[in-house]
Amino acid sequence: MKIQLGPSDILFPIPSALIVSGSFEKPNIITIAWIGIMGSLPPVVGISLKKSRYSLDSIRNAKEFTVNIPSADKFKEVDYCGIVSGRKRDKFIDINFTPLRSAKIDAPIIKECPFNMECVVIKEVELGEWVLFLGEIVETYVDEDKINISNKNKIDIAKVNPLVYCATVREYWELGNKLGDGFHAGKEILNKLKRENSSSVDE
Amino acid sequence: MKIQLGPSDILFPIPSALIVSGSFEKPNIITIAWIGIMGSLPPVVGISLKKSRYSLDSIRNAKEFTVNIPSADKFKEVDYCGIVSGRKRDKFIDINFTPLRSAKIDAPIIKECPFNMECVVIKEVELGEWVLFLGEIVETYVDEDKINISNKNKIDIAKVNPLVYCATVREYWELGNKLGDGFHAGKEILNKLKRENSSSVDE
């Protein structure tokens, strides 16, 4: 049995990302759960902010921001950056985070976040009281010690230990176990169907 | 030390959502990781598809789709729906999933997914080889047995057990432990700052 909950912005699991805007000298952090990859060629990320947010004007004017994915042990710092406005506080100082110079834009990345992106705004879409910024991802970073050198230099998700958020339900979680690999796990079903069917099953 | 990875569409943790388009009689499922909430008033979700995908025309023409969040134990079925095209196969039959009639649109929701949304396309944005559909969320559903009646009928995330995806790294994960509550966990830092500072720290 399914229960109808009405129109709602519930979604999980999603990132609780730290967005940095402004300059290296005067950066600001906000916490954003309204985020997602929106294109691959070129790589584009979408972030959506309420119009009342302090960061709106600096992203709109500078047309750039960084996305910083925190590890699970930083959930209190992440939540703090969602509660407190940059109008009143320097959140980098409050939570002891360190801005690092970006390679291609002015807004800095956050040292304490293991994965980071530099983004240049290519489009802005008004959605009621929210503004969606579509940012081309011009650079990404991962902490050196989160790379698995014995596995083709792949990012080691267990070491990154990314924070998970469940929106509107308002809960922070951490990851448990890896289940399988994308573009691979489904081949078991595909192969079973190929064996069972006389007709061919193509990918 | 941070390593530059170049422009990339790596992002984690994100949902690996099943998008249903078409009619109740002839629905199709695709797996989409390019998804995020993009507004709250009204609630809006963004999903992005490569232009070559079979589902593109049916979403574009009918201007509607459903979002279905699978539980972690369905990762093979989810991956299968990302590997195989609806041009060639009826994926509902292949993976033994059941379409259920939606309340407000024609495209059905998936019974076997514990959380579902009905969406009406309000805007389309071209992003290179991808098309972003912004859908107003007109209805949401959760399985009755995933509701915690002893906690204000809140969705019980542990019971939903949502599948987690790490994009471009291409890994499926499940959740581990709950860490804390949103708009609450950060108050510990806020209160500490209030005690330390003579100047007031406002939210």
Contacts of A180 in chain B (CB under 8 A): 75-76, 79, 171-172
Q: Give CA–CA dist A170/A156, Å, rounded.
A: 27
From the list B1, B10, B163, the residue facing A144 with the nearest CB is: B1
Q: Is residue B202 over pLDDT 80?
A: no
Are B29 and B92 within 8 A, CB to CB? yes
Longest dimension (CA), chain A: 68
Confidence at B199, pLDDT banded by 50, 70, 90:
low
Q: What pLDDT, on a 0 to 100 scale, did the predictor assign at position B203?
A: 56
The pLDDT value recorded for residue A201 is 61
- Give the confidence band of B149 by pLDDT, cuts at 50, 70, 90: confident
Interface check for B54 against chain A (CB to CB < 8 A): the answer is: no
What digits encode the pLDDT tens for the residues B134-147?
A: 999 999 999 999 99
d(CA A197, CA B81): 18
Of A141, A173, A181, the CB nearest to B177: A173
Chain B residues whose beta carbon lies within 8 Å of the beta carbon of residue A196: none
**Burial call A70-96: b when 16+ CB within 10 Å, e when fewer:** bbbebbbbbbbbbbbbbeebebbebbe
Task: Closest CB to A82: pick one of B111, B183, B201.
Answer: B183
Contact A39 B132 (CB under 8 A): yes
Q: What's the confidence (pLDDT) of residue A182?
A: 97
Nearest CA in chain A to B50: A39
Domain range annotation of chain A = 11-196
pLDDT at A122: 98
Q: What is the pLDDT of residues A10-68, one digit of tens each?
A: 999 999 999 999 999 999 999 999 999 999 999 999 999 999 999 999 999 999 999 99
Which two structure tokens, joined as six digits, stand for B60?
């574009």
Secondary structure (3-state) at A40: strand
Place of tokens 């059905």: B108
Angle at A96 between CA A46 and CA B194, to 5 degrees: 105
Q: What is the pLDDT of residue B126?
A: 97
Give the A:B interface size as CB pairs under 8 Å: 389
Do B139 and A95 count as a contact with CB atoms less than 8 A apart?
no
Model confidence at B185: pLDDT above 60: yes
Burial class (CB in 10 A: 0-12, 13-18, 19+), A27: buried
Question: CB-CB: which of B13, B35, B155 is closest to A169?
Answer: B155
What's the pLDDT tens digit per position in B104-134? Answer: 999 999 999 999 999 999 999 999 999 999 9
DSSP state of B108: P
pLDDT at A202: 59
Q: Identify the residue with better confidence: B151 or B22.
A: B22
Interface contact A178, partner B, CB < 8 A: yes
Q: Which positions 34-53 of B are in contact with A (Cβ < 8 Å)?
A: 34-46, 48, 50
ipTM computed for the complex: 0.95
Task: Please give the Cα distance from B30 to B97 (Å, whole number).
Answer: 13
Per-residue pLDDT tens digits of chain A, which is 203 residues long:
999 999 999 999 999 999 999 999 999 999 999 999 999 999 999 999 999 999 999 999 999 999 999 999 999 999 999 999 999 899 999 999 999 999 999 999 999 999 999 999 999 999 999 999 999 999 999 999 999 988 888 999 999 999 999 999 999 999 999 999 999 999 999 999 999 875 556 55
What pLDDT, on a 0 to 100 scale, did the predictor assign at position A101? 98
CATH topology of domain B11-196: Pnp Oxidase; Chain A (2.30.110)
Contact A179 B174 (CB under 8 A): yes
Q: What is the mean pLDDT of chain B?
A: 95
Q: What are the tens digits of pLDDT across the range B59-94?
A: 999 999 999 999 999 999 999 999 999 998 999 999
